[in-house]
């Protein structure tokens, strides 16, 4: 069993079967995480594509690149 770093709910996955690069989702908060390390297990939140697009649009409007 794995605990969601975002909402601390249990994520029903077999930690032994996880490989680097896999994406897992929390069913409670709907956050997606990428497995970036397996020993020790390390998860990183996956950035939403919508958020990335909004940030790029804001940078374009400000003239910052």
Q: Are the beta carbons of 21 and 35 closer than 8 angstroms?
A: yes
- Say how many domains are in the chain: 1
Going by C-alpha positions, the residue among 7, 6, 15, 19 that lies closest to residue 46 is 6
Q: Which range marks the domain in which residue 36 is found?
A: 2-62
| pTM over 0.75, yes/no | no
CA distances to 35, 39, 50 from 11, in Å: 13, 18, 24
Q: Which CATH number goes with the domain that contains 33?
A: 2.20.28.160
pLDDT tens-place string over residues 9-63: 999 998 888 999 999 999 999 999 999 999 899 999 998 765 555 555 666 666 5
């Amino acid at each position: 069993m794995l605990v969601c770093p975002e909402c601390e709910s249990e994520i029903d996955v077999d930690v032994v079967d996880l490989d680097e690069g896999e994406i897992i989702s929390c069913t409670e908060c709907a956050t997606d995480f990428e497995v970036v390390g397996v020993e020790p297990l390390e998860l990183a939140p996956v950035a939403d594509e919508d958020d990335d697009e909004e940030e790029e649009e804001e940078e374009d409007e400000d003239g910052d690149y």
